[in-house]
Amino acid sequence: MTNTVRMHQGPVDSSKVPRFAGPATFARLPRLDQVPRADVAVVGVPFDTGVSYRPGARFGPAAVREASRLLRPYHPGLDVSPFERVQVADAGDIAANPFDIGEAIEAIEAGADAIDARLVTIGGDHTIALPLLRSVARRHGPVALVHFDAHLDTWDTYFGAEYTHGTPFRRAAEEGLLDTEALSHVGIRGSLYGKKDLEEDRRLGFGIVTAADVLRRGLDEVTDLLRQRIGDRPVYISVDIDVLDPAHAPGTGTPEAGGLTSRELLEILRALAGCRLVGADVVEVAPAYDHAEITSIAASHVAYDLVSLLALNAEERG
């Protein structure tokens, strides 16, 4: 019996078409409808009705795709050519009602279910993590979670609303979507409404690595801690771009001083290579508050690392 090597359609060749020309799919990859099937799909969710302060993350997917034009096909930090290893495609955007959060959440969940690939989702605000986790849990059962953010996002309600960008992981825990023995926040900092915020978060099962912990304990200790907590469970990674200091990501809705550098975030992600990653998102890029595409460039590199992590451990389906 001979083994058939499946060739993958990769990005547009930048030696033939300049990076600034042509359609702005993620990393200049083919659209999902241009390939027979995909192992990994990058999908946008231009939705920001759940924000509590500055709006504008609905324009995040377009900005991140535009910034991703500079990405190249080989990742030296992970020693992988993700677009050769697996078929990666841009699945376009999931349309969601901007006036009805409940209806939008249902549409995002259905849209994620309809894509037969592991997803790296570009938001949009953090509300979208809940329907994405519903879709992932339907396929893989309750998942471990590594949540990069300045904020806990486990509050109960805001102005009486249960579904906002500050509540997705409270709702996910209540719905049984998360493995409560393997939940981690990374990069938490800033003021809170009260000490009870931390107590309630702890009761949900989360462990916290603050931004100060990353500084004082170092990347190796932090990543060892995360890997021990994840174990061999299927894991979902959710990255709110405000985990980065505003110096590295000014274009976001609720910036907090004292955050991670883009280098620290990328190094932590790369140290999670080999974990059973089943899906991921990058959210809260609000380009109206950005300067020189600083935030969207950072987010595009984060998304590229997440695609590369999925490519490293993806089992290609026949």
Q: Where are the domains of the chain?
A: 29-313
First-to-last C-alpha distance (Å) of the chain: 15
Percent of the chain with pLDDT over 70: 97
The annotation status of 156 as a binding-site residue, yes or no, is: no
Task: Give the confidence band of 143 by pLDDT, cuts at 50, 70, 90.
Answer: very high
* Alpha-carbon distances, residue 9 vs 31, 35, 119 (angstroms): 10, 7, 18
Percent of the chain with pLDDT over 90: 93
State residue 313's pLDDT score: 84
Statement: residue 3 has pLDDT above 80 = no
State residue 15's pLDDT score: 85
Which tokens belong to 107? 């549409």
Task: Give the confidence band of 195 by pLDDT, cuts at 50, 70, 90.
Answer: very high
Mean pLDDT (the chain, rounded): 95
The annotation status of 48 as a binding-site residue, yes or no, is: no
- Specify the CATH number for 29-313; select among 3.90.120.10, 3.40.800.10, 3.40.50.150, 1.10.260.40: 3.40.800.10
State residue 316's pLDDT score: 40
Average pLDDT over residues 117-122: 98
Residues 13-68 pLDDT 10s: 888 889 899 889 999 999 999 999 999 999 999 999 999 999 999 999 999 999 99
Q: Which helix (H) or strand (E) holds 93?
A: strand 88-93
The annotation status of 149 as a binding-site residue, yes or no, is: yes
Q: What are phi and psi of 206, to 5 degrees?
A: -80, 140
State residue 1's pLDDT score: 40
Beta-bridge partners for 282:
122, 239
Residues 71-95 pLDDT 10s: 999 999 999 999 999 999 999 999 9
Task: Give the confidence band of 5 by pLDDT, cuts at 50, 70, 90.
Answer: low
Does the pTM surpass 0.85? The reply is yes
The annotation status of 197 as a binding-site residue, yes or no, is: no
Average pLDDT over residues 279-305: 98
Strand order across the 206-210 sheet: 88-93, 40-45, 118-123, 276-283, 234-240, 143-148, 178-188, 206-210
State residue 57's pLDDT score: 98
The annotation status of 79 as a binding-site residue, yes or no, is: no
Q: Which of 165, 163, 215, 157 has the alpha carbon at shortest distance from 188?
A: 215
Structural contact between residues 295 and 285, judged by C-beta atoms closer than 8 angstroms: yes
Q: What CA–CA distance (Å, rounded) separates 72 from 165?
A: 32
State residue 318's pLDDT score: 36
The annotation status of 242 as a binding-site residue, yes or no, is: yes
